[in-house]
Amino acid sequence: MKDSSGQEKIYDVIIVGGAAAGLTAALYCARRTLHTLVLTKSLGGQAAMTPAIENYPGTKKIAGVDLMLQFQNHAKSYGAQFAYETVTSLTKEKEVFTVKTTTGQYMARAVILAFGLTPRNLEVPGEQGLQGKGVVYCATCDAPLFKGKDVAVVGGTFEALDAALLLARMHCRVTLVHEKDGYPTHKKLFEQVQQNPQIQLRMNSAVVRVEGTQKVEAVVIHGKEAAEEERIPVAGVFVEKGHKIDSAWVGDLVEFDKQKAILISLNNETKTPGLFAAGDVTPLRDKQVVISAGEGAKAALSAYHYLQKQSGKPVLLVDWKHSEE
């Protein structure tokens, strides 16, 4: 990205991920007048998938997407900039980071990794090409688009059962596909699903492929004990297989734990100076909006301290003073 004089523009901070952690980090960076860019695939991350958050302090009940919009507007009001791009690589040379995306590249003196969790794919033929054309990963966001249609829900999670019931309430005929024979950790919800006449069960079955040209036309499954594949005509496939940390692109600038979470210090530093991480992308035991937000704030302040030290300036230790003495 070049500035008006044709020079490669160097941001103070680039934040990867525009959700609870990244948006809070953006607010804190921007309030410190750091030139801040948020690169994100989408706004709001996991929080945007839930219709009601009831445990964010100060807001008794709010739709996740509304809370995330408030986070973003707050960060923007202090000057944080946003670009909706997927980051694909990160390198550092001579104290400057280069962040490559699917459409361009950006530079910064500090980077905060706040790219959270990514929904698990089916990893079968047809899925990738039909993403957004009937293959979807968020029932809360997309169920209304399939009202009254035939759909499949795939996965062994609480969210899979919840999605099946939600879609049934929307007059869909639902086929629930799961590789095991039940949901032992969600027995009560599974009972509701079993009793719902609009939901057909295909337990012990795996999706083999998704079919369709312009949009989804069918899902093909194979039961463990079935001799042949079964083709089920559907307009939508809701993938509810949980989430994973998709961190391979960060390369060797950080250390990972066994789950591929990015290891950080108490102050959100990674092993590379100037590179910080926050939120669900780190090995947090409890994954909550308020926790990711707090971690985002910590990472931002650590980035600020780092940049101040790099430029030989004094470090201001509190955030509630309006001007530096």
Ligand X SMILES: Cc1cc2nc3c(=O)[nH]c(=O)nc-3n(C[C@H](O)[C@H](O)[C@H](O)COP(=O)(O)OP(=O)(O)OC[C@H]3O[C@@H](n4cnc5c(N)ncnc54)[C@H](O)[C@@H]3O)c2cc1C
Binding site for ligand X (CB under 6 A): 16-22, 39-42, 45-47, 49-50, 53, 55, 86-87, 114-118, 159, 279-280, 287-290, 292
Of 232 and 275, the one with the shorter C-beta distance to ligand X is: 275
Of 83 and 124, the one with the shorter C-beta distance to ligand X is: 83
CB of 25 to ligand X, least distance (A): 9
Of 33 and 59, the one with the shorter C-beta distance to ligand X is: 59
- CB neighbours of residue 212 within 10 Å: 18
Q: Which of 223, 306, 318, 275 is nearest to 114 (CA)?
A: 275
Q: Distance between CA atoms of 204 and 224, rounded to whole angstroms?
A: 6
Tokens of 209: 């492929």
Of 33 and 89, the one with the shorter C-beta distance to ligand X is: 89
CB of 24 to ligand X, least distance (A): 8
Question: Looking at beta carbons, which residue is closest to ligand X?
Answer: 116
Of 178 and 202, the one with the shorter C-beta distance to ligand X is: 178
Phi, psi of 243 (to 5 degrees): -130, 160
The residue type of 122 is L
CB of 35 to ligand X, least distance (A): 19
CB of 139 to ligand X, least distance (A): 9
Q: How are beta strands 96-101 and 105-113 bridged, if at all?
A: antiparallel
Of 67 and 218, the one with the shorter C-beta distance to ligand X is: 67
Give the chain's count of helices (H) and strands (E).
Answer: 6, 17
Q: Distance between CA atoms of 130 and 132, rounded to whole angstroms?
A: 6
Q: Distance between CA atoms of 39 and 107, rounded to whole angstroms?
A: 12
Tokens of 15: 């934040």
CB of 45 to ligand X, least distance (A): 2
CB of 190 to ligand X, least distance (A): 18
Of 48 and 218, the one with the shorter C-beta distance to ligand X is: 48
CA distance readout (Å), 235 to 213, 215, 292:
12, 8, 35
Helix (H) or strand (E) holding 237: strand 236-239
Q: Which of 22, 32, 113 is nearest to 72 (CA)?
A: 22
Q: How are beta strands 105-113 and 236-239 bridged, if at all?
A: unpaired
CB of 195 to ligand X, least distance (A): 23
> In 3-state terms, what secondary structure has residue 111?
strand
Of 221 and 300, the one with the shorter C-beta distance to ligand X is: 300
Phi, psi of 262 (to 5 degrees): -85, 125
CB of 257 to ligand X, least distance (A): 16
